């Protein structure tokens, strides 16, 4: 079962049967491709969609159902704080995990106000850290 979901109970059951959809929003194309590949091979049934900007990511969220969103904090254009703020306006039910390599303390304080489910450092990030959020 997924810890949080923005889906109705019927949609949630169908979605669980068909797997887990994760959106990654990160402007680093290499990191995005690597994390997508690793997630899809981590467990059977995980589907990953990548977005290279906050604006593209928000468009994907509006037009698709996701169980979890992995969000970079520092990006050109909309940063992770602004993207998370918009996601929370859409729904409080999304699991949103911030991934960052080198964020300033002030930016970390700002993003915490938007209530991400978790904040992880990219440098020592391990897919097993997602286990509390995915259990299907």
pTM: 0.84
Q: How many CB atoms lie within 10 A of CB 108?
A: 14
CB 89 within 8 Å of CB 62:
no
CB 49 within 8 Å of CB 107:
no
Structure tokens at 31: 């990191």
CA distance 125 to 34: 13
Mean pLDDT by 10 residues, the chain (136 residues): 33 50 97 96 93 97 93 95 96 94 86 95 92 80
Quick one: which of 45, 38, 44 has its CA closest to 21? 45
CB 51 within 8 Å of CB 70:
no
Class of domain 9-122: alpha beta
């Amino acid at each position: 079962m997924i810890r949080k979901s923005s889906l109705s109970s019927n949609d949630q059951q169908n979605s669980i049967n068909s797997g887990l959809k994760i959106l990654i929003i990160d402007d680093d194309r290499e990191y995005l491709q690597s994390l997508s590949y690793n997630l899809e091979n981590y467990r059977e049934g995980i589907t990953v969609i990548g977005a290279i900007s906050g604006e593209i990511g928000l468009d994907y969220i509006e037009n698709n159902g996701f169980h979890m969103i992995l969000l970079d904090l520092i990006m050109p254009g909309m940063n992770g704080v602004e993207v998370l703020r918009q996601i929370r306006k859409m729904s409080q039910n999304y699991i949103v995990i911030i991934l960052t390599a080198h964020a300033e303390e002030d930016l970390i304080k700002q993003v915490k106000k938007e209530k991400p489910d978790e904040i992880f450092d990219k440098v020592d990030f391990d897919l097993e850290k997602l286990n509390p959020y995915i259990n299907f």
